[in-house]
Amino acid sequence: MYLNMIYTLTFQDNSVVFEHVYTAAGKAKLGVNVKRSALPINDSEIQRFFISMKIVVIRLVCILGSFAVLPGCKKSDPVVPGNFTATHHPTFVCQHQPTTASINGQFVIFDLNHTDNKDKAYFIAKLVARGNGFADSCEIVEAPQPIDKLASGWPAEVTSVAFGTTRNILTDAKNAIKSNAGDPWVYAPLLVNTNLYRKLNDPAYAGAMAGKKPFGNNTVSSYYSPPPAYQAYNRLYRDVVYYFKDEVYAENIENGGVKPLSSLFPGITGIDWKTINQTVTVDIEDASTVIRYYKKYYFFDWEGWKYYVVEESQAEARYLSYPVVYYIKFNFKGAQSLDKFCKWPQGWSKP
């Protein structure tokens, strides 16, 4: 390529400037352009120059080759593990917790309903930011992967789970699969002297659902409805365990018993609780408000291919001669198609 190029050398000796024109081969002099005077050039200098130019050109070709595929070269295709264009169905969702703290607003969606681990898969989605909080929809931040990419050694016999995070996934009321920051999965019974075991298995806390498989656990803000006369709002968090198929929930309160899910968010109707599979929440901080901290609850119905969102916001009640009462209000939008939740990866669809 460079053998047909022409170069002009400009030299300066004190106040005299002169040019010599050569081919890239460094042999044939094509002409001389003289400025003020012409002085001869040492042949060894010329040869050194053209050797340097050849090196520059070779380096330039190498650099360009890193950005484009040159004729006659073949670029290797990336290696994609597993067959992830095959059919997959979401069966479980939980908060992503790659380290000791969960990533707020990131969910891991699994397809676990396979006897062979090579067919179990997951992908990670992140809620779209909206103002100080999050929208109802997600964008995918990690494409579908085999479950062993998250951590190795998932017990093949486990095809259905209860709730948790990616570091601690309960399979039922007594067992869990744990992974510590990428370490292999460990499938073992829950420690019986923990609050988690107690609230799931002690009838004093779980009532008639003690020992039964739960399908969700989160904290829900206490409900407040402004009474006619002044009453302060004291925000409390209820530690709620969900039993969707039975349409009940239990609170982590001694002798609290179970309550109908229809009473969880008073005034909100339209959630078909018995069809829900899992729930996840996100935390929202809005420093421009008095209450400041809020939650947003997502409830998923895989078979019905829809989800529900309940979002907390600040409301206020005013009473004569009393300070303004700021309290949590629950907002509900109704059922939405899971097609709106995210752009599902190729092959992922309704069960």
Q: What is the pLDDT of residue 84?
A: 54
Bridge partners (DSSP) listed for residue 72: none
Q: What is the pLDDT of residue 85?
A: 54
Exposed, middle or buried: residue 242 (CB in 10 Å: 0-12, 13-18, 19+)? buried
**What is the chain's pLDDT, residue by residue, as a tens digit (351 residues)?**
433 443 333 333 333 333 333 344 444 444 444 333 344 444 444 444 444 444 443 444 334 444 333 333 333 233 334 455 568 999 999 999 988 788 999 999 999 999 999 999 999 999 999 999 999 999 999 999 999 999 999 999 999 999 999 999 999 999 999 998 778 999 999 999 999 999 999 999 999 999 999 999 999 999 999 999 999 999 999 999 999 999 999 999 999 889 999 999 999 999 999 999 999 999 999 999 999 999 999 999 999 999 999 999 999 999 999 999 999 999 998 999 999 999 999 999 998
The dihedral region occupied by 255, where left means phi > 0, alpha psi between -120 and 50, and beta the remainder, is: left
Q: What is the pLDDT of residue 74?
A: 31
Q: What is the pLDDT of residue 86?
A: 65
Q: Tell which residue, 271, 252, 253, 254, has the closest CA to residue 262.
A: 271
Determine how β-strand 133-146 pairs with β-strand 121-130.
Answer: antiparallel
Residue 22, both tokens = 């050569």
Give the rounded distance of the alpha carbon of 54 from its chain centre. Answer: 49
Other Cβ atoms closer than 10 A to 327: 21
210 and 202 Cβ atoms separated by less than 8 Å = yes
Residue 196: what residue type?
Answer: L
CB half-sphere exposure, 98, CA atoms < 13 A: 8
Exposed, middle or buried: residue 94 (CB in 10 Å: 0-12, 13-18, 19+)? buried
What is the rounded CA–CA span in Å between residue 160 and residue 157? 9
- Check the CA dihedral 47-52-54-57 and report its sign: negative
Can you list the positions of beta strands (E) in the chain? 6-13, 16-23, 29-35, 92-95, 106-111, 121-130, 133-146, 163-165, 168-170, 175-178, 186-189, 217-221, 237-243, 248-251, 258-260, 278-285, 293-301, 306-317, 325-332, 336-337
Q: What are the sequence ranges of the domains in the chain?
A: 2-65, 92-337
Q: Tell which residue, 261, 262, 257, 264, has the closest CA to residue 206.
A: 257
- Enter the pTM of the model: 0.76
Bridge partners (DSSP) listed for residue 124: 108, 142
Q: Is 148 helix (H, G, I), strand (E, B) or coil?
A: helix
SS3 content of the chain, % helix, strand, coil (to 5): 15, 40, 45
